[in-house]
Amino acid sequence: MSARTVKGQSADQLCDALAAFSRQMYERGWMPGTSGNISARLPGTDDRALITASGRDKGELTAQDMVVVHAATGEVVEPTTLRASAETSIHTALYRATDAQAVIHVHSPYATAVACRAGQANRPTLLRLERFELLKGLGLADPAGTEMPVFPNWAEVPRIAAHVADHYGQTSNAPPALLIADHGITAWGKDLAQARNRLECLESICQVLTINGVGIHTRDI
Ligand SMILES: CSC[C@@H](O)[C@@H](O)C(=O)COP(=O)(O)O
Ligand SMILES: [Zn+2]
């Protein structure tokens, strides 16, 4: 059984949209192999979200590969033989701590390169982003600058999720995106298209940051 067992056209459409976005990210080289995951709150429900199943080839994802979970806890709501993404706890931390309606995690090359350089193995850091015109694409209260958190890539994913919940629970002007050291980037928005647009802006900013001579400035949280 899959998320298709949830009654209603909106659930069907959202399953299709998650699969389509996933295939698009794969085509761009942002979800190599089975990497990356996508979720969205299920319209018409207070507390449910759809998330991609774990370990699936993201270039071949279909609407059948979605799992219905509790948006706040990640508990699987609809019985299924599929396993929800191994990184579900990061998505649910964001649904609890922010106004995110959709969350996309990718291993895009430039953001991952910056996450390797800016991150630390055992403590969160903040990456300073300022002056880039594309910061306006993030919907920041102050587009002049922001600090994007970079969390350690703990093997126990709930440990990453705990950092995420702490940071976004306490930081009112944080950007709608985060990096995981040596791993990748996650962005969110009011819907999948806005989350994807924000990823595009940040991947482009990270491309510039990887050019020789452009400095990467970080500080400990
Ligand atoms: C191809 S390994 C990548 C995974 O370890 C993970 O980082 C990832 O992005 C996908 O995990 P998944 O459980 O399929 O949602
Ligand atoms: Zn990942």
List residues, by chain if needed, whose CB lies under 5 Å from ion ligand 2.
184
**Strand positions, DSSP E, 53-167:** 66-70, 102-106, 125-130, 145-151
Provide the residue ranges of all domains of the chain, joining segments of one domain with +.
Answer: 1-86, 105-221
Residue 112: nearest ligand to its CA? 2
Residues 65/87, Cβ–Cβ less than 8 Å: no
Q: Which DSSP category does 84 fall into?
A: B
The string of pLDDT tens digits covering residues 36-83 is 999 999 998 989 999 999 999 999 999 999 999 999 999 999 889 999
Nearest CA, atom 4, ligand 1? 35
Hey, what CATH topology would domain 105-221 get?
A: L-fuculose-1-phosphate Aldolase (3.40.225)
User: CA-CA distance, 30 to 39, in Å (whole number)?
Assistant: 16
Ligand 1 nearest-atom number relative to CA 107: 9
Whether 28 shows a pLDDT value over 50: the answer reads yes
User: CA-CA distance, 180 to 144, in Å (whole number)?
Assistant: 23
Average of per-residue pLDDT values in the chain = 95
Hey, what CATH topology would domain 1-86 get?
A: L-fuculose-1-phosphate Aldolase (3.40.225)
DSSP string covering 14-61: HHHHHHHHHHHHHHTTSS-TT--EEEEE-TT-SSEEEEEBTT--GGG-
Nearest alpha carbon to residue 105 among 116, 120, 91: 91
- Kindly give the distance from the C-alpha atom of residue 106 to the centroid of ligand 2, in angstroms, as a whole number: 6
Q: Which residue pairs from 82-85 have beta carbons closer than 8 angstroms and sit at least 24 positions apart in sequence?
A: 82/2, 82/53, 82/54, 83/53, 83/54, 83/55, 84/51, 84/53, 84/54, 85/37, 85/39, 85/51, 85/52, 85/53, 85/54
The string of pLDDT tens digits covering residues 82-125 is 999 999 999 999 999 999 999 999 999 999 999 999 999 999 99
The pTM score is 0.96
Nearest alpha carbon to residue 100 among 161, 136, 49: 49
Residue 51: nearest ligand to its CA? 1
Residues 66/13, Cβ–Cβ less than 8 Å: no
Whether 27 shows a pLDDT value over 90: the answer reads yes
pLDDT of residue 173: 85
- Ligand 1 mutation pick, 30, 67, 87, max ligand atoms within 8 A of CB: 87
H/E stretch holding 13: helix 9-27
Same fold, 1-86 and 105-221: yes
ipTM over the 0.90 cut-off: yes
> Which amino acid makes up residue 110?
Y
Ligand 1: residues with CB < 6 A are 33-37, 52, 54-55, 85-87, 105
User: CA-CA distance, 79 to 51, in Å (whole number)?
Assistant: 14
Nearest CA, atom 2, ligand 1? 35
